[in-house]
Amino acid sequence: MSVLFIAVPIAVALAASAVIAFAWAAKKGQFDDLETPKWRMLMDDEKPVNPSKDE
């Protein structure tokens, strides 16, 4: 069971790297707006714009 001496530190290191990744994402503003992006994804791409079009 001496594998624990290797496995536990690895587990802790993995957890730490997840925390670091989370902190990095939060600092970048990934969690600032949790509402808009999920809706934006559902919208179709923009069609080419024709500003002269007017009825």
Partner 1 sequence: MDSLRDQETCRIDAVEAFRKTSHCLHCQQPLASVDRTDDFCCNGCQAAYQLIHSQGLDQYYAIRDRMSGIGSGSNASTSNDIGLASNATLAVPEQLLRESFVDLDAPRFWQQHVISLPEGRVQATLRLHGIHCAACVWLLERLPQFQPGVIYARVDLTHNSLELVWNPAQVQLSQIARRIARLGYRASPINSTSRKLVQQQDDRKQLIQIGIAAACSANIMLAAFAIYAGQWTGMAAEHLQLLRWVSTGIGLVSLLGPGSVFFRGAWAAIQTQTPHMDLPVAIGLGVGAVSGAWNTIAGEGELFFDSLSMLVFFLLVGRAIQSRQQRAACEAVDLLSQLTPATANRVNSDGSIESIAVELIEKNDVLEVHAGATIPADGTMIEGTTDIDTSLLTGESLTTTATVGTALIAGTLNCSRTIRMRSERTGSETRLGKLVSRIESASLQKTKIVQWADKISGTFVVTVIALAIVVGAAWFFIDRSVMVDRVIALLIVACPCALGLATPLAIAVGLGRSAQSGVLIKGGDTLQRLSQPGTLVFDKTGTLTEGKLQVLHWYGPYELLSAGVALESHCQHPVAEALKRYANELAKRDNVPPPPSSPVHFTRQHFGQGISGNINDDSIAVGNLRLMKELAISIDEDLQRQYNDCLIAGNSPLLFAMNGRARGLAALGDRIRPEAKQVLDRLRSKGWGIGILSGDHPEIVSRVATELNIAPTSTWGGASPEEKLQHINDLKKNGKPVMMVGDGVNDAAALASADVGIAIRGGAEVSLQAADVFLASGSLVGIEQVLETSRRTMWVIGRNSIASLLYNFTAVSLASIGWLHPLAAALLMPASSLTVISVTIWGHWRKQIAK
25 contact partners, CB below 8 Å, separation of at least 6:
31
Cβ neighbours, 10 Å, residue 28? 9
CA distance 23 to 19: 6
- Among 5, 10, 45, 52, the residue binding partner 1 under the rule CB under 8 A is 5
Instruction: State the minimum distance, in angstroms, from the CB of residue 36 to partner 1.
Output: 4
Binding site for partner 1 (CB under 8 A): 1, 4-5, 8, 11-12, 15, 18-19, 22-23, 26-27, 29, 31-36, 39-40, 42-43, 46, 49, 51, 53-55
